[in-house]
Amino acid sequence: PDDAYALASRAHVLAQAGRADAAMADFRRLLDAQPEHAHAWFNLGFLLEQQGRLDEAEQAFRRSLELESKLDRAW
């Protein structure tokens, strides 16, 4: 249940289905298990930004860049 690939995959499917809250819950669960997962931080930031939660989104994007500075979309 805490497999990074499975959680990320399900989160993407949920996001595509318009279930942003459920997708964010999966990304947060993934990050609880693997806090160094830069792409999960980026994807969480993307969903937060879509919901207008800009301060939280900025924090998530910054964390993703701390972990992997080549995530150019996070800039």
Q: What is the pLDDT of residue 71?
A: 82
- pTM of the complete model beyond 0.85: yes
pLDDT tens for the chain, 75 residues: list them.
Answer: 678 999 999 999 999 999 999 999 999 999 999 999 999 999 999 999 999 999 999 999 999 999 999 888 777
Q: What is the pLDDT of residue 1?
A: 67
Q: What is the pLDDT of residue 2?
A: 76
Q: What is the pLDDT of residue 75?
A: 75
Instruction: Tell me whether residue 4 is exposed, middle or buried, using C-beta atoms within 10 angstroms of its C-beta: 0 to 12, 13 to 18, 19 or more.
Output: middle
71: left (phi over 0), alpha (psi -120 to 50) or beta: beta
